[in-house]
Chains A and B, each alone.
Chain A
Amino acid sequence: MHIDPLERRWIILTLVLMLAITGVLLGYAIAANLHPPSNVETIDSTRLHLTPEFAEDKLGVAKNPDGTLTVTMVAGRYGFYPQHVEVPVATPVTFRIASADVLHGVHVPLTNLSTMIVPGYVSEVTTLFEKTGEYPLLCNEYCGLGHDHMWSRLTVISPQ
């Protein structure tokens, strides 16, 4: 079987390139703990209102003892509840979101906040907003004919 010397060099270059890219990604995953949002945790999406965490009066921003924040939200056709969330800038915020009905996704453009929201599972994602301002919280997964209208607001404020 014939392998051209030039071809051999190209194969080596290709392998080095792929190892370099995956090496950088793996490096960040380990060193900076930079992962996409995995959270294997189940929940009965039809009974969210009866759970201690996702009942209507429990939703919203809560401060943890260590100074970080937890935002608890429910995604349902067609909105994210509570419909307005206010968090301080440069503070780690953990979002915990459950779907009350179908598949949804949440994305705040120009930030790292993004996760799928899957009925039957709890999504959890931790991020930190670097700039103050008003952001839309958009549903980015098709959830029905009203999908375009599913969005809420996020305000990132400067600490007093």
Chain B
Amino acid sequence: MNNDKAPALALANLWVAFTAFLAAALLGLYQVVERSGLFPAIESPAWYFAAVSTHGVLMGFVLTTFMVMGFGYYTATTSLAQPLWNRSLAWLSFWLALVGVLLAAYALLTGQASVLYTFYPPLRAHPIFYIGAVLLIVGSWIWCLEMIMMMITWKRSRPGQPVPLVMFGNVANALMWLWASAGVAAEVLFQLLPWSLGIIDTVDVGLARTLFAWTLHAIVYFWLFPAYIALYTLLPRAAGGRLFSDPMGRVSFIMLMVISVPIGFHHLYMDPFQETGFKLMHMFGTFMVAIPSLLTGFTIIASLEISGRLQGGTGLFGWIGALPWREPLVTAAGLGLLLLAGGGFGGIINASYAMNTLVHNTAWVPGHFHLIFGGTVALIYFGIAYHLWPKLTGRSLRSPGLVLTQLWLWAIGMIVTAVPWHWLGLLGQPRRISSTPYDTPLVAAWQPFETLMVFGALLLSLSAILLFYNLVTSQASGKSNPDTTLAYAEPVHAVLSLPRPLNGFVIWNWILLFWMIAAYGYPIVQFFLLDTYGAFPWNV
């Protein structure tokens, strides 16, 4: 097929992603066991917080960024049927990001960056940690440029033709990430890095937290985007049917791109330095960003229903059983959507302005994002990997039974882990603790849930190892698969032409610009008007 080595580049990116994932998953097991208090011999705050920081960075920044990049390169070249815009630059981006990860990993694993993946100034990490983060972000920016340029060159040679939905999604994600990552990039480049090097003495923690919040909500959509794109453009075909609506996919991608950036203050609800008016404004946006997810749920379930009925399913729910559950992507998506429903419900509570007070920074919050990210996003990443592997490697999956076992183990493990985690939060357990040395009867009430989580984490670790085993053995010794053409789902109603706003992003960038000025303009400028006091660095 295409001879520009996009499969090699995609594979390289995906291997980094899943290697980071395996390491992070095993650290997760250690953390759950350590925190359970059942094995006092392994208790160590230094190890625990180094592990939590590494786990967060590997899962949140490394697995995701490399997955987004690998998925983007491969789907761009196959859907547009054109080579990469600039192959050398794409490889440069890979190596830059990888070197960044290795630098950050050195600081993390030697305990010199136990500041958690959210950085938390005025706790100071080794400068190498921040340099690594910058390299990873710069690598991801090159990927964004590749995506945008590939769409532009394709459109130029085919005026008026609809951009393939999969590519429209990739570019929506690339643009959103350029907007979103500007916040954390500014924090690291202008505050944390010079401050950790001693070039400046203090940082304004309020400004730093505001800049991080700028990135912090949209980043979860950066992670979620490839999963949603796969649901729209790969899943319906894998399920043996058609996509219910192509334009609704575009509408959802546009809404995710525009709405997910100017709403970061729900991460600052409990912080003193932003006024309630801005928090309210960001709350409305936070609820609006649920709309594309609800639209996606409808469109994807409708597409699956079409597939199920085409395969003979009847009755109100009979079509569900008729779906081809042996297809890894179908099982991954089905389980992922189930966890998304639970995680989305919790998310509405977190977003709820005043009600968030009861769960803020309790164990409820990691419980919530492990359902959505560790559950939905990770499961669909696995589904994508299993779906693409035969195309990328030219070899079939070695053991389809083990593939399905791995997906089910992960989903069950995540439910067994995350549900008790929510309960711990409702019972007042703070998040980010390595032990519970408090003198309160609540500690006894927490114990059964922490013990239950150990079993969940064991299932998850087993599943993570199995994923790695499946990918390695398939690539090394799977049966030869001559059909390496990646085919995308056809919509029920073919899209012949589209209104311009649904085939490009110019107007949406302008809307986002004005919304960003309204949402972050004064809240950032205020730090230069107020008489603020910066914070000196502290070691952990």
A residues whose Cβ falls under 8 Å from a Cβ of B: 1-4, 6-7, 10-11, 14-15, 17-18, 21-22, 25-26, 28-29, 34-46, 101-103, 105, 107, 109-110, 112, 114-124, 134-136, 138-149, 151, 153
Contact A35 B354 (CB under 8 A): yes
Q: Return chain A residues, CB-CB under 8 Å to B49.
A: 142, 145, 147
Q: How far is the CA of A14 from the CA of B245 in the complex (A)?
A: 17
Interface extent on B, as a size class? 35 or more
- Considering the complex, give the chain B residue whose CB is closest to the CB of A35: B276
Query: Given A38-B279, A44-B533, A144-B123, list of 19 further CB < 8 A pairs?
Result: A2-B245, A2-B493, A7-B298, A7-B302, A10-B295, A22-B283, A29-B280, A34-B354, A38-B275, A42-B531, A105-B361, A109-B428, A109-B442, A118-B205, A120-B205, A141-B361, A141-B432, A144-B538, A147-B45
Q: Return chain B residues, CB-CB under 8 Å to A10.
A: 294-295, 298
Contact A28 B354 (CB under 8 A): yes
B residues whose Cβ falls under 8 Å from a Cβ of A: 45-46, 49, 114, 116, 120-123, 204-206, 209, 244-245, 247-248, 269-276, 279-280, 283-284, 287-288, 290-291, 294-295, 298-299, 302, 348, 352-358, 360-362, 427-440, 442, 493, 498-499, 502, 526, 530-536, 538-540
Known contacts A4-B244, A18-B290; A114/B270 CB under 8 A: yes
Contact B438 A115 (CB under 8 A): no
Contact B356 A36 (CB under 8 A): yes
Contact B290 A42 (CB under 8 A): no
Q: Return chain A residues, CB-CB under 8 Å to B430.
A: 105, 107, 138-140
Q: Return chain B residues, CB-CB under 8 Å to A29.
A: 276, 280, 353-354
Contact A148 B435 (CB under 8 A): yes
- Considering the complex, give the chain B residue whose CB is closest to the CB of A25: B353
Known contacts A115-B270, A148-B436; A38/B123 CB under 8 A: no
Q: Return chain A residues, CB-CB under 8 Å to B290.
A: 18
Selected contact of A107 from candidates B247, B287, B288, B428, CB within 8 Å = B428
Q: Return chain A residues, CB-CB under 8 Å to B435.
A: 148
Contact B114 A114 (CB under 8 A): no
Q: How far, in Å, is B103 (CB) from chain A's closest CB? A: 23
Q: How far is the CA of A47 from the CA of B116 in the complex (A)?
A: 28
Known contacts A22-B287, A40-B273, A118-B209; A149/B120 CB under 8 A: no
- Considering the complex, give the chain B residue whose CB is closest to the CB of A115: B270
Known contacts A44-B533, A105-B270, A115-B270; A142/B432 CB under 8 A: yes
Known contacts A105-B270, A114-B357; A45/B533 CB under 8 A: yes
Known contacts A107-B428, A109-B427, A120-B205; A115/B358 CB under 8 A: no
Q: How far is the CA of A62 from the CA of B352 in the complex (A)?
A: 32
CB<8 Å pairs between A and B, sample of 28: A4-B244, A7-B299, A15-B291, A18-B287, A25-B355, A37-B270, A37-B272, A40-B272, A40-B274, A40-B275, A45-B535, A46-B536, A103-B121, A107-B428, A109-B362, A109-B427, A114-B360, A116-B270, A116-B271, A119-B535, A120-B534, A122-B272, A136-B442, A138-B430, A140-B432, A145-B540, A147-B432, A147-B433
Contact B287 A36 (CB under 8 A): no
Contact B532 A42 (CB under 8 A): yes
- Considering the complex, give the chain A residue whose CB is closest to the CB of B271: A116
Q: Return chain B residues, CB-CB under 8 Å to A26.
A: 280
Q: Return chain B residues, CB-CB under 8 Å to A107.
A: 360-362, 428, 430
Chain A to chain B: the 3 pairs with minimum beta-carbon distance, closest first: A109-B428, A140-B430, A140-B361
